[in-house]
């Protein structure tokens, strides 16, 4: 990777007004670039990459704003625990949403059984992202913006709550219920 001059504008909330987040820093954060760009591609519709990158940057900004607000409202003792970096929140929320075990439809005789199978890292990441996006598209109020819905969902996933986490748990429960069929796998 070539050396890049990256300039960050420090967002300081000393007064009431917030300064703008430097949009360059979003795309230059190599640690999350690959995960972020996958997420951006999955949100994209009709090839409108500009719109989907905008949505994701607005999501990260919204997460940052909410967390900084929480930080300033909290007493000094709790301030350490509040995570303000939107990248770590996004990453941790995604990790919390990833299922450990998946289900596959395997036909044996005339019946199809739901068999618990191990998932590859790629598949787990894809499922987590897909669930977050579909949850935001389908189950939220029509008039809220996508970035708003996404930030809400990501923050609750970060705290291990919310519908996506619930969906992951349901998948785990189904897998556990069908553990007798695990031998139907042949790979």
Partner 1 sequence: MAVTGAGIEALLSRLLSRERGKPILRPNKPLVLKDEVANKKTEKGEASCITEMSILMACWKKKDFNSSLCSKEISDFYSCVGRAERRKARQQAAVGQGKKMLPKQANVLLKRYPNLGKEI
Residues that bind partner 1 (CB under 8 A): 100-101, 116, 118, 120, 160, 169, 172-173, 175-176, 179, 182-187
d(CA 66, CA 45): 27
Return the number of the residue (60 or 165) whose C-beta is nearest partner 1. 165
Return the number of the residue (142 or 183) whose C-beta is nearest partner 1. 183
For residue 34, CA distances in Å to 133, 144, 172 come to 17, 28, 27
d(CA 161, CA 157): 5
Please check whether residue 88 is in contact with residue 180, taking contact to mean a CB–CB distance below 8 angstroms: no
Return the number of the residue (38 or 172) whose C-beta is nearest partner 1. 172
What would the two tokens of residue 8 be?
A: 């960050």
Return the number of the residue (65 or 123) whose C-beta is nearest partner 1. 123
What would the two tokens of residue 95 be?
A: 């990790």
d(CA 170, CA 159): 18
Return the number of the residue (43 or 175) whose C-beta is nearest partner 1. 175
CA-CA-CA-CA torsion sign (89, 92, 94, 96): negative
To partner 1, the closest distance from the beta carbon of 84 in angstroms equals 22
To partner 1, the closest distance from the beta carbon of 172 in angstroms equals 5
d(CA 175, CA 7): 47
To partner 1, the closest distance from the beta carbon of 102 in angstroms equals 11
To partner 1, the closest distance from the beta carbon of 116 in angstroms equals 7
To partner 1, the closest distance from the beta carbon of 181 in angstroms equals 10
Please check whether residue 125 is in contact with residue 98, taking contact to mean a CB–CB distance below 8 angstroms: yes
């Amino acid at each position: 990777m070539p050396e890049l001059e990256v300039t960050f504008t420090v967002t300081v909330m000393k007064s009431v007004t917030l300064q703008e987040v430097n949009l360059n820093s979003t795309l230059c954060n190599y640690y999350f670039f690959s995960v972020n760009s996958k997420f951006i591609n999955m949100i994209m519709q009709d090839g409108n990459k500009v719109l989907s990158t905008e949505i994701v940057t607005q999501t990260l900004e919204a997460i940052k704003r909410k967390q900084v607000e929480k930080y300033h409202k909290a007493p000094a003792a709790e301030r350490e625990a509040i995570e303000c970096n939107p990248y770590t929140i996004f990453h941790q929320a995604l990790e919390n949403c990833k299922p450990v075990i998946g289900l596959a439809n395997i036909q044996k005789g005339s019946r199809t059984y739901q068999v618990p199978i191990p998932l590859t890292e790629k598949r787990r990441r894809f499922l987590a992202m897909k669930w977050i996006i579909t949850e935001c598209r389908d189950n939220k109020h029509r008039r809220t913006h996508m970035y708003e819905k996404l930030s809400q969902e990501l923050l609750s996933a970060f705290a291990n709550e919310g519908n996506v986490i619930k969906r992951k748990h349901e998948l785990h429960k189904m897998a556990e219920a069908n553990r007798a069929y695990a031998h139907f796998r042949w790979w």
